[in-house]
Structure 1
Amino acid sequence: MKKLIAYYSRADENYFGGQRRYITEGNTEKAAKMLAELTGADLFQIEQKVPYAADYDTCIAQAKKDLQAGARPELVTLPDSLDEYDEIYLGYPNYWGTMPMAVYTFLEHFDFSGKTIHPFCTHEGSGLSGTEKDIQRAAKGALVARGLSIYGSSVDQAKPALEKWSKKD
Structure 2
Amino acid sequence: MKKLVAYYSASGVTARKAKDLASEVGADVYEIVPAQKYTSADLDWTNRKSRSTLEMRDPSSRPELAEKTTELSGYDTVYIGFPIWWGVAPRVINTFIENNDLAGKKIGIFATSGGTGISAAIKDLQKKYPDLDICGGKLLNGSVKGDIL
TM-score greater than 0.5 by the shorter chain: yes
Provide TM-score, normalisation by structure 1.
0.76
Provide TM-score, normalisation by structure 2.
0.86
Per the alignment, residue 23 of structure 1 pairs with none
- RMSD, aligned α-carbons: 2.1
What are the superposed Cα offsets for residues 100-126 of structure 1, whole Å, 9 maximum, x if unpaired?
111100001123221111100000111
- Aligned-partner SS, 1:159: coil
Aligned 8 A contact 2:69 2:96 in 1: no
Q: Greater helix share, 1 or 2?
A: 1
What are the superposed Cα offsets for residues 26-59 of structure 1, whole Å, 9 maximum, x if unpaired?
1110000101111121111111111222245269
- Aligned-partner SS, 1:145: strand
- Aligned-partner SS, 1:85: coil
Residue from 132, 139, 144 that aligns with 1:159: 144
Q: Greater strand share, 1 or 2?
A: 1
Residue from 10, 13, 27 that aligns with 2:13: 27
What are the superposed Cα offsets for residues 52-74 of structure 1, whole Å, 9 maximum, x if unpaired?
22245269732120022231011
Per the alignment, residue 53 of structure 1 pairs with 39
Aligned 8 A contact 1:75 1:102 in 2: yes
Do residues 128 (structure 1) and 118 (structure 2) align?
yes
- Aligned-partner SS, 2:76: strand
Q: Which runs of 5+ in 1 are unaligned?
A: 12-25
Q: Which runs of 5+ in 2 are unaligned?
A: none
Residue from 30, 33, 49 that aligns with 1:44: 30
